[in-house]
Each structure stands twice: as structure tokens, then as C-alpha cells.
Amino acid sequence: MTGQKESVKSYFNNTSGEYSSVYAKDVPDSLRAYIFLSRREYVLNMLDLQGGKVLDIGCGPGVLTENLLKRGCQVWNIDISEAMVEKAGQRMQFVEGRDRAHFSVGDIEKLEFPNKFFDAVLCVGVLEYLPDDILALKEIFRVLRPGGSVIFTVPNLASPFVLLEKTVVLIAKFLQKIFPDSSDSLLFRKDIIDRYYFPVRFNTVLKKNGFKIDKTMFHVYRLAFLNYISCRLSLSFARRLEFFSKTPLCWMGVNYIVRAQKE
């Protein structure tokens, strides 16, 4: 396992409880909860499927599984983090249809499933943690049946909100070099590296790997660094800016969500 994968695995093992508690909320009380819960809603609304076999890659604490079971699906959940897989299993312990849910530790670059096995694949917040996403895309293509759908979510590098956050982080790093004893609270998560995507370029990569773009949308308009001023302010700001999603400026969302089909 590469150093990056080890870092990602360690990070999510250590934060599995936090992620599980965020998804346990019905109403978001923080920016993180708002982002995660609304992203789940977007993805589930975009998945046009009743019944069938679904693979959730990077399942985390099993946040999509219950809804998929209600649709009559068989769900295979995999994650690189053992702790996340354990949380996912616990979450489904008393859910109706639990026998149709499967949980295991897995690697997106080495999927242990037959060719053309799944009707749909969900890959939510995963690709950005890979040093190279091509092998992962090839594996998803391999296990997806012809005509099957896959939904990806990736960070949007074209978003001005993302660019502003990156600028703030660069300034924070610069100030910390000058003032070594200063707070590093604006440096955000420093233990793992994640990548950002230009939507147009990502679409091109998907097409080159055999996928046909079916539907796209953008998600969340936020200023994450406001959390260090006021959690309520950052959450309120994101909620107020959600109107962008219904305007020509929707492309400014910090997350890009795309549904594609295997041709």
C-alpha cells in the first residue's frame, strides 16, 4: 500500500466516530454536517434505480445503504478503513433488509468482484485521495454492466470558493513560517493530500475511459474558514448561498457531481 493510501486509511480509521455521528443527525448543526447530509441527498436523488446490485466504494459508515435497501437493492459496501466498515455494519444491524447488505474492506484499484457484476456504482468523495485515478476508473468500468450507471463526486477546482480557501491556506502557511508560534487552525487537514478537478477535464477523462456523461450538478457554496470565526456563521452562509444551485452560476459549487453510464 502506498504512503498516501496508508495516510488516508489512518485518517479515516481515526475519524470514523466523527463521521458516523455527523450522519446520525436529521438536521445539520454544523457546516460539515450540512455538506455531508446534503451531498447524500443529491447523490440518492441522482441515482435512478429500483432494485439491482449496487457497489458503494468508500462507503464510510454506511450512509447510503439504508435508502438503497428500501429501494430493493443488494448493496456491497467497501472502504479502505476497517473502522469505517465496522461502523457501517453496526449502523445496519437492525435495519430491515440487512441480509442484502454486504460490508468488507476493499481497494478501489483492486476490486474483488466479477466483470459486469453491478447495475450501479457509487464513488462519493474517493477519487480525490488517489495519486492517480485512472486505475480506479478502469476497475469501476470493469465491474459495471453495460448500460449501468456510476455516480462520482469530486472537489471542483473551478469554484471561486475553493480558490479563495486555497488562498487563505497559503497565507496561513506563510504567516506560520514568519511566526512559528502562531495558530495553525487555518491550515485545515494537513495529514493527507487531496486533489481537485476541473469539471470539463474530468468529463474528458471519463469519456476516454468508456463512460458517457448522463447528468451533472454542483453542490455547496461555502467558506470553510468561517468555521474558525463562528460555526453558526459558516453554516448560515452556506445555506444562504445555496440559491446559486438554481442559477447559471451553479458551477461555483465546491463539489462536482456527475452521473455517467458505461457504454
Most confident option among 19-23, 60-64, 241-245, 257-261: 257-261
Query: What are the backbone angles phi and psi of residue 43, rounded to the nearest 5°?
Result: -65, -45
Burial class of 7 by CB neighbour count within 10 A (0 to 12, 13 to 18, 19+): middle
Weakest-pLDDT range from 40-44, 69-73, 184-188, 198-202: 184-188
Task: Give me the residues paired with residue 258 across strands.
Answer: 152, 216
Q: What is the mean pLDDT of residues 23-49?
A: 91
- Which pLDDT score, from 0 to 100, does residue 4 have? 81
Q: What's the pLDDT tens digit per position in 193-204? A: 678 999 999 999
DSSP state of 246: G
Write out the three cell numbers for 75: 448493496
pLDDT greater than 60 at residue 121:
yes
Q: What is the mean pLDDT of residues 22-38?
A: 88
Q: What distance in Å separates the CA atoms of residue 173 and residue 196, rounded to the nearest whole number?
A: 19
Q: What distance in Å separates the CA atoms of residue 114 and residue 101, rounded to the nearest whole number?
A: 18
Q: What is the mean pLDDT of residues 33-38?
A: 92
Please give the C-alpha separations between residue 251 and each of 179, 202, 256, in angstroms, as whole numbers: 37, 14, 8
pLDDT averaged over the chain?
Answer: 89
How many CB atoms within 10 Å of residue 209? 16
Give the pLDDT band of residue 71 (cuts 50, 70, 90). very high
Write out the three cell numbers for 257: 457531481
Domain architecture of the chain: domains with CATH: 3-262 (3.40.50.150)
**Beta-strand pair 255-262/144-155:** antiparallel
Write out the three cell numbers for 108: 478501489
Rg (CA), the chain: 18
193 Cβ contact list (under 8 Å, min separation 6) = 4, 7, 129
pLDDT greater than 90 at residue 120:
yes
Q: What's the pLDDT tens digit per position in 197-252? A: 999 999 999 999 999 999 999 999 998 878 778 888 889 999 999 999 999 999 99
pTM of the model: 0.91
What is the SS3 assignment for 261?
Answer: strand
